[in-house]
Structure 1
Amino acid sequence: MLKPKYPTPDTYVPNTHTHAPVPVERPAPPAPAPARSGIADLARSNPAAAVAGVVVTGVVLTSMLLAVAITGLALSISGVVLLVLVRMLRQEFRR
C-alpha cells in the first residue's frame, strides 16, 4: 500500500531540553478593591440620572407588557376567525 507523506508543520519544535524546568515565581495577589458606594449614594450624588433610570425602566417594562397584550389579542382574534372558517367549511361539506 501507499503511505502518505505529510509535510512537517512550521510550528513544530522538537524538545531538546534534558534538564528540569525552572519554577516560575508568581506575583503577589492584588490588593482588595475599595468598598464601592451603594445605589442610594449614587442617587444622592446624581438624582437626575436616578430619575432617568427609573423612567427608562418603566418605559421598557410597559412596552414589553403592551407587546404581550397585543400578541395575545392578535392570537385570540385569529383563533375566533379560524373557528368561524372551520364551521363554515363543515356546513359546506354537509350540503
Structure 2
Amino acid sequence: MKQRKVPMRKDLLTNEMRPKKELVRIVRVDEATVAIDPTGKQAGRGAYVALDPEAVKGAAKKHLIESALSVKLDPDFYQELFDYVDHQKARQELFGAK
C-alpha cells in the first residue's frame, strides 16, 4: 500500500514543523474577526498553534497571534483558546491521537 504524505504546518509559538492533526488553526475571517477553526478549512488568513496550554499562555504575554494575523485581540480570546487547547490535549491523552 502506498504511504500517504502527512501535511506539515509550522507552529506559530514554537516555530517547529508538526503534523497538521497535532495543531489547531486560528483564522482571521475579516479585518476584526478571529476564530478558532477546529476543521482547518474555514476561509481566511490562518495560523497554527500546538496543543500545549503553556505555549498559549506565553503567546498571550508576547501577543504572537496578534502580530501574525495583524489584528488586535481581546484577552477573552486567549482564555477561550487556552480552554480549547487544554480540552483537546486532555482528549488526546484520554483517547489517544487519531
TM-score, normalised relative to structure 1: 0.24
More relative contact order, 1 or 2 (CA 8 Å, 6+ apart): 2
Instruction: Please identify which structure carries the higher helix content.
Output: 1
TM-score, normalised relative to structure 2: 0.23
Instruction: Please identify which structure carries the higher strand content.
Output: 2
